[in-house]
Amino acid sequence: MVSDNASCCLDMKGDLASLTLQDGSSSLQGRSFGANLSASGEVVFNTGMVGYPEALTDPSYRGQILVLTYPLIGNYGVPDESVTDELGLPLYFESKDIHITGLIVSSYSWEHSHWTAQRSLGDWLTKNGVPGIYGVDTRALTKKLREYGSILGRIDVSPKDVPQSIPSDFFSDPNKRNLVAEVSIKQVTIYGQGNGTKIVAYDCGIKFNIIRYLVQTHKVEVAVVPFDYDLEANPNNLEWEGLFISNGPGDPTMCPQTIKSIKYALALDPPKPIFGICLGNQLLALAAGAKTYKLKYGNRGMNQPCIDLRTGRCYITPQNHGFAVDSKSLPSMWKPLFINANDSSNEGIIHTNKPFFSVQFHPEASGGPFDTAFLFTKFVGHVEKIPQPIVLQNENGYIRKTYKKVLVVGSGGLSIGQAGEFDYSGSQCIKALKEEGIEVILINPNIATVQTSQEKASYSQGADKVYFLPIKPDIVMDIIEKEKPDGIIVSMGGQTALNIGVQLWNSGKLQGAGVEVLGTQIPVIEATEDREIFSEKLKEINETIALSYSATTIEEAVTNANKIGYPVLVRAAFALGGLGSGFADNDQELKELAAKAFSCSSQILIDQDLRGWKELEYEVVRDCNDNCITVCNMENFDPLGIHTGDSIVVAPSQTLSNREYFMLRTTALKVVRHLGVVGECNIQYALHPESERYCIIEVNARLSRSSALASKATGYPLAYVATKLSLGKDLPSIRNSVTKTTTACFEPSLDYCVLKMPRWDLKKFQRVSNKLGSSMLSVGEVMAIGRTFEEVMQKACRMVNPALDGLEGRDSNLLPCEKITPLEEQMRKPTDTRLFAVQAALEDGWTVDKVHSVTKIDKWFLSKLKNIAEMRNTCKKSSLSELFKVNGHERMRSLKLAGFSDKQIGRYLGKHGFHGESQIRAIRKDLGVIPCVKQIDTLAAEFPAHTNYLYMTYAGDCSDVKETPQKCVSRKPLNKSASSVEFEKRVRVMSEQISEEKLKSFKERGVMVLGCGAYCIGSSVEFDWCAVSAVRQLRRDGIKSVIVNYNPETVSTDYDESDRLYFEELSLERTLDIYEKEGVGGIIVSVGGQIPNNIAGPLADSGAHILGTSARDIERAEDRRQFSDLLDKMGIDQPAWSVLTSKKEATEFADDVGFPVLVRPSFVLSGAAMRVASNESELKNFLDLAADVAADKPVVVTKFILGAKEIEFDAVANNGEILNYAIGEHLENAGVHSGDATVILPAQKLYVNTIRHVKKYASAIAKSLNITGPFNIQFMAKGNQVQVIECNLRASRTFPFVSKTLKHNFISLATRAMCKLPAKPYRISLLDIDYVCVKAPMFSFTRLRGADPSLGVEMSSTGEVACFGEDAYEAFLQALLAANFKLPTKNRTILISIASKEFRVEFASGACILKKLGYKLYGTPGTAEFYNEAHNLGIISLSKPLHEEDEGNDFGPSALKEIRDGKIDLLINISEGTTHSAEITSGYIMRRAAVDFDVSLVTNIKCADYLAECLNRGHDKFKSKHIGEFYKLPTIGWQE
């Protein structure tokens, strides 16, 4: 690790420097990091993301000031110039000199890290006398160059004022010089002497890699001659059989001597082959008689798409030139060979019957891709008189099948490893199919998703038919037989859909039904999923995977592990998210892991342990014509050993050199082509951190979690494009959906950095280890965008946990006790809190090297974290008056560039809370430090893009979009009380009638919708559905929509959904920034879950206009004490309650009302820290936990009612009047969190009097809180007593369930009400609906090792599914199956273990039914004895396991052994109702074993009863119906 200097961390390093442009605009200010001198030249830009050593030594840049559009430069330093190849040429450079006159970058990395690095970029520039400036808005500069063309510029370090009258010599125009003469060799040099074939190469600025290609790869002798070497006179008597014309700088017309020699060569008879590159293309054209012209700003980068006019194939090419050939001027017998796919400019020429050709790009790359290196083979083949193959177009372009109907298989309920990314992918897929006029059939039981909505708007067409059914092979075939589709897409639904496709293909059923698998074919998928086949495939192309063996038995696994050597990685084949995987250090650990892995797969994989290597990933797209591109490359922050879903991921890679980047890219294309993937896939690598050794980890031949991330990171819609390709289209024919003018056959250039951070909810589960490994544990993720690494890291921390102010160590309050787990140990083992342990160490003064030695995290990443730590420490040692007294603007900007929030800065300086944040915000704005808005346009500003995909950053001087600024003024003046101001505001809002003129202005200004943030337990895809529904309604009503969200898995972050998308934080600071920039008419906070709701108050206090229910009323509902007071005043019944003021008072309250009691924090989601306490000890522990979660918000203790039924009331109100409502009932009794409950709609078993009370109470609450918009109230009923549990003044997780069941979108109605548009209630009569929908939870206990799979008041489920039926039992069983429940059909064996007599009595009828149906029943001793004595069921008794290794005794096996041996199909374990520790221990062991060994599990008595009745009614057999068929059932009273 090397650091250039160590000046004050808040003051920018380097001398002041400026860039002055000839156009007369203001000088651009920055800081110097190179030579301390002035320089002048032509300012040009390069869009490459790697390869600065190669670019700076490219002679084609002679005389130019180079602007690098990628903002993070210097990361991997500069290699050793003395390292040479076999030819004596510098290995890592393209010439022996730096040819640019100056370098302009956005952010310079003073610290670098790479195994090849010898010095920093700044030192290298200084040594070579080249100035460099950082701190410039390179995106704005690139846009200027794009608009005005290349401009002359001048760099000055420690500049004096630019004179008003600029002298003639102030700017130097390199185009007036013969640049080729400056860079060309002075005497002939022979390389590869003695090789048979002899070629003369004109050095007009030849790159060393060209010489390497010709000599080392093609074994020719190359005589490199000066540009003015007279070939006809041939003074050196060179023997030559072919002529090569190199790249070079400047105007080709300034090389008359070269042109003269080329003309001579062209006239030879017989002809000798000629090949030119870049400048050589232009020189050949001029020699042939054509013309050239100067491009506006040239093509300089690594991602120019060029179409081979012989084949139609499109290649990604590196280029660096400012002139081009005029194709129209080509003489007869000459034709264009390549054209640019974006602007159709000439990219190559060819003679029609002689071996003369040239191209405008660099086939040899360096830097850049090697896709066209075959042109060297063609040239050398001509020289060696080897017949060249006839190149023809692929017939696939003309044989395109048409499809009328396609079945799309979804992913089902969200689970760890398979989450919302597949809603986004599926939605994109459906959109692409509908654009082609194809009828779309969708099977997906996830009712919360956007893709299961049947929208008909032109911008968001949904599927034509949606089947809410379990995704099982027989059901999919049932739909196929019914719908008779032409094709099926199984690549958009995760592993669930993929496995269905494989099973149906291998059974021959798809072929028999004449259904074509679209996109990548099943044999290809199997080749990537089966480790042995995959390994053999890679061997065919000389690529390798990590040492790996497959096994089908535990014995075979042990043998193979010993072949490799411990430690090894154990993985289940055909599994998603590393399910069933882990690391084993010995035979015993291997056997334990293998046993669990075999429960979810028939084959397991034993892999070499590569922990500590870098992990990298490339997203690859290939079409049927073999066009192949990489869309995004990503690098894991953590070294290999952590599942990529649990790792922080950065895009693009930050620590790879050009050689490494393109080495892996070349391999990716080779592998994907060899496998035959059509569509999108990703390839994962392990790269040795100190060499170029690598191996392939895996290829996912489908859309993956990374695909959604890559799509959002780059703006390239992978799922959409992959769908088009699966229909037979090719990449060049598809348009770039951001620019609308360029082709989709390109590789995005990023001028920003993206960081993905996982979200875990492991603390919700007892006994679950927080150690991270090969099996994915995260439930969601966030994506931060910025122009410095520090910025995106701190953004991501706030996004993933709104309680955090940024990246901090101990201040995060997330670290375990260091007395129990020392800091070094916390860093050594990857956990969900390791990042914060690392930060704590750096804050304590640990060196980067020391932290690296413990964690193996790359030193470059650690150096950036060190910067954050040092800046934090500086702030904490200072005061507000001192910190910004001197150089205030620069210091504040430095903090903001490093991602520090206003709240964070305020806390460091002793200014806490909302008022402290507001004070820092005001100071920051007074200092002129304002964020700017930047676009994500896929091409780093090289082409115009009217994109609405935006982010905010302080690393810029101006915004990319037109702003409509408005000033937020606090609405709490000092001379008025808060309540009087709030009252006046409410009166204004209620009385305001929108006139036509006001409405027009409101529509133009638009509405800001705050999204849901990271998916977590309690806030998932259902809130994304709500946000998307709101945005779509705004668009239908002609209102400009601005959405803010940072979750890459969502549909709301698809830029097609809104008028403007801000991929940004949902913090108070950033929301106000956007509100002020956009000048919107108001903010909707009620459709994104708890995160937006929680900032409603501070937003309103800051002067923002909250649409719908007022912020004050939201607080009255969210604050447990205020809401309970309100209910008491209204005379509405609720459980007895008390606000926590002390543990003593809470204990006295519990003693008074009697245990159990419920502890409830305020302003939380999914019952966070909510617990039922059965005794005083539990109560005290739970109060501590709740106080931590609730921060300064009240914690309420209420009486917990046993045996009550819970009721969901979802509604939309307008000015306190309810417009529409839905009443659903929980199948489980109260005590199970509503998110984990089975919900039945319409309610089936509620008393009329209960419904009347529910409606009466809801109406009164709506009036009292003056609700406008969506809201949810949860009630419980026992007998005819109805009590209110809570009220959420926002959309709830059941809104999509309610809306799709009732065929009316509640959020659309709520949106109109909030925007003060006419909101007409839907005609809904719940009593007249002739079908039932049941929503069931989806759990991920299989991944959460050690978690107790039982349910309580804190939510555990990660997703949900819903199915329809003609009665509740039919819908319930389908929903259960859709949640991956397996019916007990394998052995027809059921184990029953019910702890309490009360529940045993309740399940007696169910047990009798199961016996009658012929199931073999087992029971734990008490349960078996009870049913055998009372009902004579003949249940076989199994002993309860006393510990996790208990296999039984002399009297028979234990229940645990039978479960592990696969002899039990279903476990019914009802443990509630007892507090005996032995009961809990035995029950836990059995439940956990059921999960680990893939045995179906029921833990609730109501669900067990329902299941038995479903089986009794024969509902395990049913006909497939889509939702439209249920809507059409005969009914009266509610259909419009």
- Dihedral sign for Cα atoms in the order 1498, 1504, 1508, 1513: negative
CA distance linking residue 1065 with residue 783, whole number of Å: 10
Q: Are 446 and 413 in contact (CB under 8 A)?
A: yes
Active-site hit among 278, 429, 1016, 1510: 278
Closest by CA position to 1044, among listed 1066, 1029, 1022 = 1066
Take residue 33 and report the two structure tokens written for it: 């990091």
Q: Are 272 and 346 in contact (CB under 8 A)?
A: no
Take residue 610 and report the two structure tokens written for it: 């590569």
Active-site hit among 364, 529, 791, 1115: 364
Is 674 one of the catalytic residues?
no
- The string of DSSP letters for 477-532 reads HHHHHHH--SEEE-SSSHHHHHHHHHHHHHTTHHHHTTPEEPSS-HHHHHHHHSHH
CA distance linking residue 1154 with residue 1454, whole number of Å: 38
Q: Are 398 and 386 in contact (CB under 8 A)?
A: no
* Exposure b/e, 595-632, CB count within 10 A at least 16 = b: bbbbbbbebbbbbbbbbebbbbbbbbbbbbbbbbbbbb
Is 278 one of the catalytic residues?
yes
Extract the runs of DSSP E, i.e. beta strands, from 1031-1073.
Answer: 1041-1045, 1060-1063
Take residue 904 and report the two structure tokens written for it: 């964070």
Take residue 528 and report the two structure tokens written for it: 């990537």
CA distance linking residue 718 with residue 680, whole number of Å: 7
Q: Are 558 and 595 in contact (CB under 8 A)?
A: no
CA distance linking residue 1426 with residue 1397, whole number of Å: 8
CA distance linking residue 1064 with residue 942, whole number of Å: 24
Is 364 one of the catalytic residues?
yes
- The string of DSSP letters for 1213-1258 reads EETTEEEEEEEEEEEEETTS-TTTS-EEES-SS--HHHHHHHHHHH
Centre a 10 Å sphere on the Cβ of residue 783 and count the other Cβ atoms it contains.
27
Give Cα 1091 to chain centroid, integer Å: 19
Extract the runs of DSSP E, i.e. beta strands, from 1439-1501.
Answer: 1448-1449, 1452-1453, 1466-1470, 1496-1498
CA distance linking residue 415 with residue 780, whole number of Å: 10
Active-site hit among 112, 218, 351, 362: 362
DSSP SS3 for 1199: strand
Q: Are 1144 and 1131 in contact (CB under 8 A)?
A: no
Cis peptide upstream of residue 271 (ω within 30 degrees of 0): no
Q: Are 376 and 326 in contact (CB under 8 A)?
A: no
Centre a 10 Å sphere on the Cβ of residue 399 and count the other Cβ atoms it contains.
9
Take residue 1429 and report the two structure tokens written for it: 């004595």
Going by C-beta distance under 8 Å and a sequence separation of 6 or more, which residues neighbour residue 1490?
A: 1349, 1459, 1464, 1467, 1469, 1496, 1497
> Which amino acid is present at 1056?
D
Query: CA-based diameter of the chain, in Å?
Result: 114
- Dihedral sign for Cα atoms in the order 1324, 1326, 1330, 1332: positive
Active site positions, annotated: 278, 362, 364
